[in-house]
Structure 1
Amino acid sequence: MEISQLITPERVQCLGGIKSKKRALESLSQLLASGVIGVDPTDIFHQLIERERLGSTGLGHGVALPHGRFSPSQDDSDDAQFDLGMTPKMTLGCFIKLDQGVDFDSPDAKPADLLFGLLVPEHCTDEHLQVLAALAQMFSDTEFCEQLRNTKTNEELYTMLSSWKQSHQEAS
């Protein structure tokens, strides 16, 4: 799966002033719910909190992948995905680059400043694992993470994230 299938430009942001894991999860919840019908940011927040209680989603090296699940609507129309005004039937993603890292209980005890939020339909267990594996691979690229940290605008972040697979394959 391409990262560009998970995120939209509106769901990628550089944010300042976030000083706690709770506030970071609230911001991710708002972004994941933005522009979709039937997805409540409060429900997403509770999903992310519950997942964190099972174990930290901090990967280390300043990266965290908070994720949760949702129940898609019963609408079977093919055009209901995650576009503006639609109830999602597929995985949603968002990304926040923080100006200062927050404690995510990462294995290396380093604060996380690169946060990729993920919301996956309950029935998509294999897809969930595949997306998490792809994100873990992307964020294990230390040079790429440094480039993200040095990026100043939402647009640049979106471009870098959505083109990662292509640029990574070209460099291999």
Structure 2
Amino acid sequence: MDLSSILSKQRTLWCASCQSKKRTIEEISQILAEHISGPSAHEIFDALIERERLGSTGLGDGIGIPHCRLPSCEKPIGVLLMLETPIDFDSLDKQKVDIIFALVVPQEANDDHLDILATIAGKFSHADFRDSLRATQSDDELFYVITS
């Protein structure tokens, strides 16, 4: 899957300044609400937080993939943040998170949701890929690496 179909340069932020998991999810919700019609930032935030309550989306190795399904979402959409300072994300490996790929999909998009998550998790499972993302110096570079 080509991640550029769900991610844009406008939703790719290098060196984002978020001090907590909650604040990061608020930032993601605001970004998404500005780029899609339908759900409000509050609706997106509530859905992402509800999903986090089921279990942390901190994958380990400094990666977080908060995600949810929303009835008012028309198509899959993502946000990528490279954090200025790593934050606690309740990851299983207890490592702080500095790379976050957030995903919101339509409520009925079960297969798409799982396929996209598998693609993202697969990319992030490679240390070389994570290192390439961490070596970027701008929004454009970060977008290029994630979509290459």
8 Å contact from structure 1 (residues 32, 117) kept in 2 = no
CA apart distance, 1:69: 1.1
| Residue aligned with 2:101, SS | strand
Count of residues in correspondence between the two structures: 148
CA apart distance, 1:17: 3.0
Identical aligned pairs, as a percentage?
A: 40
1:154 alignment partner in structure 2? 139
State whether structure 2 residue 114 is matched by structure 1 residue 129.
yes
1:19 alignment partner in structure 2? 19
2:39 alignment partner in structure 1? 39
CA apart distance, 1:35: 2.3
Runs of 5+ in structure 1 lacking a partner? 73-87, 164-172
Distance 2:74 2:131 in 1: 33
| Residue aligned with 1:97, SS | strand
2:68 alignment partner in structure 1? 68
Distance 1:133 1:102 in 2: 24
1:81 alignment partner in structure 2? none
- The Cα offsets for residues 25-55 of structure 1, whole Å up to 9 and x where unpaired, read as 1111122222222121111011111000000
**Mean Cα deviation higher: 26-35 or 105-114:** 26-35
Question: Root-mean-square deviation (CA), in Å?
Answer: 1.1
State whether structure 2 residue 122 is matched by structure 1 residue 144.
no
CA apart distance, 1:146: 1.0
8 Å contact from structure 2 (residues 16, 81) kept in 1 = no
Q: How does 1:63-102 map to 2 (within 5 A)?
A: 63-72=63-72, 89-102=74-87
Runs of 5+ in structure 2 lacking a partner? none
| Residue aligned with 1:110, SS | coil
| Residue aligned with 1:15, SS | strand
Letter in 2 for 1:154: D
Distance 1:129 1:150 in 2: 28
Letter in 2 for 1:107: L
Distance 1:32 1:135 in 2: 18
Letter in 2 for 1:28: I
CA apart distance, 1:70: 1.2
Distance 1:152 1:3 in 2: 20
Distance 2:23 2:123 in 1: 24
